[in-house]
Amino acid sequence: MAQTESDWEAIVVDDASTEPLGPVVGRFEDPRLRCLRLERNLGPAGAREAALGAAKGRYAAFLDSDDVWAPEALAWHRSRLEDQGRRVSVAGAIVGRSSPRRIRPARASRPGERIATYLFIENEYAQMSGVSAPLHVARSAGFGNLRQYEDWYFLIRAEALGAEVEVSDAPLVIRDDDDTGDRMGATDDLGRAEAFLAAMAGMLRPEERNGFELRCLAPTLLVDHRRDAVRLVLRTAWRHKALRGAAAKLLLRAAIGPTRYAQIRTTADALRAGWRRDFVRIRIG
């Protein structure tokens, strides 16, 4: 409701919550707001697809319930989508509950760069609260009925269907609780990762698939299947030079343990934040 762009409708999807959201939405007394209650829980994929089916606008933009848009987010997306055909626009985010806060992604995508390469080889960042697309493109891409990694599915499938996916580093989303455990994507799940790979059949190159396995399967395997994880890491590093940095990090994590590894990462983030703090302040006003 604080957006500088005023021509919008907001569909709040109540995914069969224990406390109905209809009365909450009604208290705003804004005709642009409406609540869509689902009779059974469909997860983020099903909830978003239900909203897309009910939407009436020209474009769709997504906002998860624990994220916040900068006031100029919708106007920014609209300026990038108008007269651009089948483009999918992705904004960056300011990530972290407290200092140091990070701007992600570290860089924008390059012209012609495959979104799966950007995500899984370059280990860059694209998240659903930063995504906007023409409504018909969003409906065509869908979310694959996945319970996790559905945002990556959306972007990769949209590109496979002929859309240009363009990721910016402009930080128009605020994710204050990115590292807490209550986010559905905070931890990887082997079953959900395998479901994602099955849904991606024919859409990933071998090195992109290996990159996903390295980043989303290996850390989970390290907990209970250390030997399998190390084997996966070494095999991937041998095959793909671009993934050797990520492989080295995982081997370090296996050697020193997740707690010590997390401490090292926190220290490194703090050092990086020292020279980026003024830059962040300028970018977000």
| Rounded Cα–Cα distance for residues 256 and 245 (Å) | 17
Residue with tokens 């140091």: 100
Domains of the chain: 10-175 (3.90.550.60), 205-283 (no CATH)
- Quick check: pTM over 0.85? no
Condensed to tens digits (0 to 9), the pLDDT of residues 166-179 reads 999 999 999 876 44
Task: Place 143 in a pLDDT band, splitting at 50, 70 and 90.
Answer: very high
| Rounded Cα–Cα distance for residues 85 and 81 (Å) | 7
Condensed to tens digits (0 to 9), the pLDDT of residues 75-87 reads 999 999 998 889 9
Q: Could you tell me if 69 and 63 are in contact, meaning their C-beta atoms sit under 8 angstroms apart?
A: yes
Task: State the pLDDT at residue 100.
Answer: 62
| Rounded Cα–Cα distance for residues 116 and 111 (Å) | 14
Q: Could you tell me if 167 and 105 are in contact, meaning their C-beta atoms sit under 8 angstroms apart?
A: yes
Condensed to tens digits (0 to 9), the pLDDT of residues 28-39 reads 999 999 999 999
Mean pLDDT of the chain: 84
Condensed to tens digits (0 to 9), the pLDDT of residues 205-251 reads 988 988 888 777 656 655 565 666 666 666 666 566 666 666 666 65
pLDDT at 189 over 80: no
Q: Output the DSSP codes for the chain.
A: ---S-----EEEEE-S-SS-SHHHHHTT--TTEEEEE-SS--HHHHHHHHHHHH--SSEEE---TT-EE-TTHHHHHHHHHTT-SSEEEEEEEEE-SSSSPEEE-SSPPPTT--HHIIIIIS-----GGGEEEEHHHHHHH--TT-SSSHHHHHHHHHHHTTPEEEEEEEEEEEETTTTSTTSTTSS--HHHHHHHHHHTTTTS-HHHHHHHIIIIIHHHHHHH-HHHHHHHHHHHHHH-GGGHHHHHHHHHHHHH-HHHHHHHHHHHHHHHHHHHHHHHHHHT-
Task: State the pLDDT at residue 80.
Answer: 95
pLDDT at 199 over 50: yes
Higher pLDDT: 142 or 229? It is 142
Closest CA to 62 of 107, 116, 11, 123: 11
**Range of lowest pLDDT (32-41, 72-81, 155-164, 251-260):** 251-260
pLDDT at 109 over 50: yes
Higher pLDDT: 3 or 265? It is 3
Q: Could you tell me if 55 and 133 are in contact, meaning their C-beta atoms sit under 8 angstroms apart?
A: no
Strand partners, 131: 90
pLDDT at 41 over 70: yes
Give the mean pLDDT of 17-27: 94
| Rounded Cα–Cα distance for residues 215 and 191 (Å) | 15
Residue with tokens 């406390």: 19
- Token code pair at residue 197: 């790979």
Task: State the pLDDT at residue 178.
Answer: 46
Task: State the pLDDT at residue 278.
Answer: 55
Higher pLDDT: 267 or 244? It is 267
Higher pLDDT: 116 or 251? It is 116
**Range of lowest pLDDT (25-34, 52-61, 141-150, 224-233):** 224-233
